[in-house]
Structure formats: structure tokens, C-alpha cells
Chain A
Amino acid sequence: MAECCGTRAKLIYACSGAADVGEIADRVVRKLRKQGNFLMTCLAGIGAGLSGYVQSAKGAEQNITIDGCPVACARKTLERIGVTPTSYILTELGLVKGKTAVTETVVNEICEKIKNSGNAKPASKSTISNCCS
């Protein structure tokens, strides 16, 4: 859902990589979006150089990337367009690549760690429907 005027827009991206931690990154971002904390958007759109995605990233109050592992594809994709995101790497949050079961419990734990980290504070109100006047 698009945000009017972008005053508090916080965009979040998952690496959605092939490994277990990539899948967890994807599920974490979808969960955070459903909770109304952040606006999820497509990392692939930025990688493809599509102007709407690129300009949205440049216009956002905050961009947050969730990468499964230190390769940090999501963070580096944002950096390539000159945007420095708030970066989370799941292996630095305790997950082990190739040895982590993709469960709801793990997804919930990571969501809580991100929300409580202080670096990716959710918007105080829903960012979805409010519009400037």
C-alpha cells in the first residue's frame, strides 16, 4: 500500500535468499508488514533499477534490510543506489545458516528482536492510511 506524503514511511526489504535464513528473513518481513509496523517493498525492483522502487527508497524516512547471512545482498542492493539502510543480519542475531529450522517460533523471536532493537522503531501509528492535509 502506498503512503501519502511519505512523512513517516519506513520501508522494509528481505533478501529472501535460498538458504533457511533467507526464508526466515522473508517471513520476518512479511510478519512485520502484517503487524502494520513497516511497509514491505520489493528488493528485486531495486535490483532491476525500476525507477519507482529506486525513488521510493530514496524518499523514505528509513529503509530497513533483513539479510539472512553476512553476504548481505539486501543491504548491498540498497547501497548500490546510494541509500544506506538500517541493516539486520540474522546470523548476527544468533541464527546459523544451514542449521536453522524455519518455524513460527524462530520468526516471532526475530521479529521481537528487530522491534526491540531501537534501530528500526515501528511507526507510532499505522503508516498505511494517514494522509497529510
Chain B
Amino acid sequence: MKIEILGTGCAKCHKLEEMVKKVLHDSKTDAEVNKIQDIKKIMSYGVMMTPALVIDNDVKIAGKMPTEEQIKSWLIGS
């Protein structure tokens, strides 16, 4: 699984990264996590607002924070 956290370095972007890593750790799930700060790369997804979370090239959320439950459902199923 390939996970990308899109954001230019704001507090919410860091928080989202922490939440994703916590879910992965708690569920003992292996995944490649990359932070994407390059604005051109961010916009290549059509994302207009950050933070955003991309899982296997599919944008799951943009412009707002997901709940931990949402992240769990995307990463490991509900």
C-alpha cells in the first residue's frame, strides 16, 4: 500500500501524518508513507486544498481532517 500525505507543512498536515502512522502502527499494517510538499505534485492530483490523504493514488479527503475511524476504514477496512 502506498500512502501520500499532501501538504505544505502546516500543523494539520503534521497531525494527519501522525494519525495515519498511529493507525498503521496499531493495526500492524505495512505501508509506504510519503509526505508530499511540492505544490506541483499536489496539484497534479487535482487537489485544491490541503491537508489531503492519498491511498494508492486515490484521494480520500482534501481540505479537512479525517477522523481516526475514517482513516482506519480506508487503511484496514472497517
Contact = CB atoms under 8 A, between A and B. Distances in A.
B48 A4 contact: no
A5 B46 contact: no
Interface residues of B, number: 24
Contact of A50 (B11, B46, B51): B46
B72 to A, nearest CB: 18
**For the complex of A and B, 9 pairs with smallest distance between CB atoms:** A59-B63, A6-B63, A52-B46, A6-B49, A52-B45, A51-B59, A56-B48, A55-B62, A53-B46
By CB atoms of chain A within 10 A, which of B12, B42, B60, B63 has the most?
B63
Interface of B (DSSP majority class): mixed
B20 to A, nearest CB: 16
Interface string A1-13: 1111110010100
A65 interface: no
A56 B12 contact: no
Interface of B: 7-12, 39, 42-43, 45-52, 58-64
A55 B52 contact: yes
